[in-house]
């Protein structure tokens, strides 16, 4: 039924790629197409209701909105009808022919790289819902009349790279989507069978607020999950609603459902996912994405103002009673109710994490692996006001395998340990071998391992815990030594004053200082940093991004008890090239031991070969 207005247009390349993926790779859950189409129909009703508030001239009665399923077993068609907002010609083109968000492009790349079969949960995270129809249909026809417009349109495609768009007459407001179903195959479900459709609506869309009718029956119970009393909702219903919200295929790790009364009234249903969505770290400006409803009307599906960005992995719904329906972004930002809700929700989520940590360590470790580094952003941003995030952090440590909290580390501290010690580095293996760590372990002190890039920033903010200072083992540390150790250090400094002086002369600008130190265990020397100077790990990151070498704020610490130091002292007295070579070797091995590169590897290896020859 092509009319004169008919126009055949190509899909954006990415759309066709996505369609091919859906058709060929993702048939393990074809039935989710219905959930996606019903969710779009419900969104369309939400949008109409919202628009009707601000445009009374539309003159629509929004109390009777609904969704209808029409199945024809003979013709093998399934039609999903809504009387929501509809789409104009331009909207049909841009909504159904292009991929709007850059996120979807990334998703495409991700799917290609990781193999879509293994990551079906990725589909849907970026609003590719409509295209799911092509998993079950070989032709899809969308007829739509936009609220407030006279002319309707028909969009159709066979997923062959193109779609057709034309004028259509006699449509009612809203959208009719007709799927020409593929053959179900041997064990496939028949999506025209009433019992199949009933089952799918019940399973995936029961809480949709608008009636979903088939014939004279309403298939869904309609009451939104969050508005029902907790005792009425089963685990499965909670999980299904989570999957609907998040497009996740897995059950949530935790569900938080409560009603707040008093000066600010609202209901919140929050979920902590079990697995991180792949875009968690990919956004330019990460923000929280809860849905905000006011008196059953969806205001926004991505409300930034309800949780801090470092809880952006939380999914869910907040329905507030005390906001005006036509709230704008500006109002959301400045509204005192919103601020009160945010504060309370933040507390609730942190408290819930704290109780998982307390009651079920294994489950918490699972959470930490997925979202720990996001939580740490809160500390970095200076938003961990009462230390609640610090309580929730897990660390590896010199104690051995397994993770520890700060509180547990403090509890284990032996009498007299002046600080909580930390070390930053690339991984456990490197840190286990670090001379810095050895010096503390030898005293029976535990060192916490900070191995994530964000830790460098976090540790600048996290300077104390339960009144104990946090201190990096890289920093030159005076407090560590007993009086007798201090005496031994100054005795060595006096005895080998010439060595220190010659070394300082030799290294010049390369080092800030050479000194004897009491904190070395077995190593002859190591590199500390002046208090406040960059730690080596971060220093290196800085050098990589800004060019230039290591910063000069390093201190070469010598072990007064090491025989090599005494030998070097003799060479210093003699002077000559032997001394310079040995000094460079000592410095080079100190760099290697902490996982830093040596500045002139060719010279360093030549020095080693020479040494081996002499030996
Ligand atoms: P999402 O729903 O995540 O935005 P979809 O692929 O499901 O992604 O839908 C794409 C867009 O098409 C929607 O955002 C909406 O603008 C439009 N759309 C889809 N179905 C309908 C409908 N029944 N009524 C009005 N608009 C619709
Ligand atoms: Mg959708």
Q: Do 174 and 286 have their domain in common?
A: no
Give the three-class secondary structure for 54.
Answer: helix
Write down which residue in 390, 421, 456 finishes a domain.
390
Q: Domain of 535: which CATH number?
A: 1.20.120.790
Q: Domain of 338: which CATH number?
A: 3.30.230.80
- Between the CA of 95 and the centroid of ligand 1 the distance, in Å, is 6
Q: Do the strands 7-10 and 162-168 form a parallel or antiparallel pair, or are they unpaired?
A: antiparallel
Within a domain: residue 145? yes
DSSP one-letter code for 362: H
Q: Do 320 and 333 have their domain in common?
A: yes
Using the atom order of ligand 1, give the atom closest to the CA of residue 40. 20
Q: Do 17 and 148 have their domain in common?
A: yes
Closest Cα to atom 21, ligand 1: which residue? 40
Query: What is the spatial distance between Cα 519 and Cα 603, in angstroms, rounded to a whole number?
Result: 29
DSSP string, 1-12: ---TT-EEEEPP
Query: What is the spatial distance between Cα 568 and Cα 572, in angstroms, rounded to a whole number?
Result: 6
Q: Do 316 and 402 have their domain in common?
A: no
Q: Do 162 and 302 have their domain in common?
A: no
Q: Do 547 and 504 have their domain in common?
A: yes
Rg (CA), the chain: 33
Q: Do 25 and 155 have their domain in common?
A: yes
Query: What is the spatial distance between Cα 94 and Cα 87, in angstroms, rounded to a whole number?
Result: 10
H or E segment at 567?
Answer: helix 563-574
Q: Where are the alpha helices (DSSP H) in 450-508?
A: 453-461, 483-495, 497-507
pLDDT at 406: 97
Please name which ligand lies nearest the alpha carbon of 46: 1
Whole-number Cα distances in Å, 515 to 436, 496, 592: 15, 10, 19
Closest Cα to atom 14, ligand 1: which residue? 95
Cβ atoms 510, 504 nearer than 8 A: no
Which two tokens mark 80? 């999903």
- Between the CA of 328 and the centroid of ligand 2 the distance, in Å, is 23
Q: Do 190 and 212 have their domain in common?
A: yes
pLDDT at 61: 86
Closest Cα to atom 19, ligand 1: which residue? 40
Q: Domain of 126: which CATH number?
A: 3.30.565.10
Averaged pLDDT of the chain: 87
- Total domains present in the chain: 4
Within a domain: residue 66? yes
Cβ atoms 45, 65 nearer than 8 A: yes
pLDDT at 194: 95
pLDDT by residue (tens digit) across 138-194?
999 999 999 999 999 999 999 999 999 999 999 999 999 999 999 876 667 899 999
Q: Do 239 and 384 have their domain in common?
A: yes
- Between the CA of 413 and the centroid of ligand 2 the distance, in Å, is 54
Within a domain: residue 1? no
pLDDT at 101: 53
Closest Cα to atom 16, ligand 1: which residue? 95
- Between the CA of 296 and the centroid of ligand 1 the distance, in Å, is 20
Q: Do 371 and 438 have their domain in common?
A: no
Q: Domain of 400: which CATH number?
A: 3.40.50.11260
Query: What is the spatial distance between Cα 438 and Cα 605, in angstroms, rounded to a whole number?
Result: 26
Write down which residue in 332, 363, 390 finishes a domain.
390
Write down which residue in 348, 370, 390 finishes a domain.
390
Phi, psi angles (nearest 5°) of residue 459:
-70, -20
The number of C-alpha atoms within 13 Å of 579 and in the hemisphere containing its C-beta is 20
* Closest-CA residue to 16 (of 147, 175, 128): 128
Q: Do 293 and 323 have their domain in common?
A: yes
pLDDT by residue (tens digit) across 334-381?
888 899 999 999 999 999 999 999 999 999 999 999 999 999 999 999
- Between the CA of 342 and the centroid of ligand 1 the distance, in Å, is 29
Structural domain that includes position 466: 395-473
DSSP one-letter code for 101: -
Within a domain: residue 273? yes
- Between the CA of 32 and the centroid of ligand 1 the distance, in Å, is 15
The ligand 1 site (C-beta within 6 Å) comprises 36, 40-41, 43-44, 82, 84-87, 95-96, 127-130, 175
Within a domain: residue 2? no
pLDDT at 430: 87
Query: What is the spatial distance between Cα 507 and Cα 587, in angstroms, rounded to a whole number?
Result: 9
* Closest-CA residue to 437 (of 483, 393, 397): 397
453-461 helix and 536-546 helix, angle to the nearest 10 degrees: 120
Q: Do 87 and 13 have their domain in common?
A: yes
Q: Taking the C-alpha atoms of 22, 28, 30 and 32 in order, what is their torsion angle to the nearest 10 degrees?
A: -100
Within a domain: residue 485? yes
Report residues of the chain scoring pLDDT below 70.
1-4, 25-28, 100-108, 110-128, 185-187, 282-283, 325-329, 531-552
Q: Where are the alpha helices (DSSP H) in 336-467?
A: 336-359, 361-380, 388-392, 406-412, 428-432, 435-441, 453-461
């Amino acid at each position: 039924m092509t009319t004169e207005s008919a126009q055949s247009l190509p899909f954006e390349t990415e759309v066709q790629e996505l369609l091919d993926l859906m058709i060929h790779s993702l048939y393990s859950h074809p039935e989710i197409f219905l959930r996606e189409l019903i969710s779009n129909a419900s969104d369309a009703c939400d949008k109409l209701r919202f628009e009707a508030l601000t445009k009374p001239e539309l003159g629509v009665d929004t109390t009777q909105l609904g969704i209808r399923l029409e199945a024809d077993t003979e013709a093998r068609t399934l039609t999903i009808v809504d009387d929501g907002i509809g789409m104009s010609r331009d909207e049909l083109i841009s909504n159904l022919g292009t991929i709007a968000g850059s996120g979807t492009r990334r998703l495409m790349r991700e799917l290609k790289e990781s193999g879509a079969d293994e990551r079906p949960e990725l589909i849907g995270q970026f609003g590719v819902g409509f295209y799911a129809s092509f998993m079950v249909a070989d032709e899809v026809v969308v007829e739509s009349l936009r609220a407030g417009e006279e002319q309707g349109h028909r969009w159709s495609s066979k997923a062959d790279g193109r779609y057709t768009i034309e004028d259509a007459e006699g449509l009612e407001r809203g959208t009719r989507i007709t799927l020409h179903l593929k053959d179900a195959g041997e064990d496939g479900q028949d999506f025209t069978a009433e019992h199949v459709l009933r089952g799918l609506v019940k399973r995936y869309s029961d809480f949709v607020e608008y009636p979903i009718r088939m014939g004279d029956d309403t298939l869904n119970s309609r009451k939104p999950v969050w508005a029902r009393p907790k005792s009425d909702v089963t685990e499965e219903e909670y999980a299904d609603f989570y999957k609907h919200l998040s497009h996740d295929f897995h059950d949530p790790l935790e569900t938080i459902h409560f009603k707040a009364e008093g000066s600010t009234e609202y209901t919140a249903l929050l979920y902590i996912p079990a697995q991180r969505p792949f875009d968690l770290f990919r956004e330019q400006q990460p923000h929280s994405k809860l849905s905000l409803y006011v008196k059953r009307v969806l205001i926004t599906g991505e409300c930034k103002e309800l949780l801090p960005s470092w809880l952006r992995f939380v999914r869910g719904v907040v329905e507030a009673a005390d906001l005006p329906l036509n709230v704008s972004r500006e109002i959301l930002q400045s509204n005192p109710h919103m601020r009160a809700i945010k504060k309370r929700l933040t507390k609730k989520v942190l408290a819930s994490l704290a109780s998982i940590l307390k009651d079920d360590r294994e489950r918490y470790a699972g959470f930490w692996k997925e979202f720990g580094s996001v939580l740490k952003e809160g500390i970095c941003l200076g938003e961990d006001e009462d230390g609640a995030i610090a309580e929730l952090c897990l660390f590896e440590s010199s104690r051995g395998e397994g993770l520890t909290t700060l509180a547990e580390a403090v509890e284990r501290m032996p009498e007299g340990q002046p600080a909580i010690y930390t070390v930053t580095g690339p991984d456990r293996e490197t840190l286990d071998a670090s001379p810095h760590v050895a010096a503390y372990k030898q005293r029976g002190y535990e060192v916490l391992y900070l191995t994530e890039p964000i830790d460098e920033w976090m540790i600048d903010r996290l300077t104390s815990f339960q009144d104990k200072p946090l201190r990096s083992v890289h920093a030159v540390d005076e407090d560590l030594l007993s009086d007798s150790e201090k005496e031994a250090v100054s005795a060595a400094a006096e005895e080998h004053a010439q060595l220190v002086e010659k070394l300082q002369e030799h290294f010049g600008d390369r080092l800030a200082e050479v000194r004897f130190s009491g904190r070395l265990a077995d190593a002859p020397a190591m590199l500390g940093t002046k208090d406040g100077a960059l730690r080596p790990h971060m220093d290196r990151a800085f050098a990589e991004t800004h060019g230039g070498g290591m910063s000069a704020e390093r201190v070469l610490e010598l072990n007064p008890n090491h025989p090599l130091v005494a030998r070097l002292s003799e060479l210093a007295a003699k002077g000559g090239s032997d001394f310079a070579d040995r000094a460079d070797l000592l410095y080079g091995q100190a760099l290697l031991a902490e996982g830093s590169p040596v500045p002139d590897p060719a010279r360093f290896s030549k020095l080693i070969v020479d040494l081996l020859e002499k030996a």
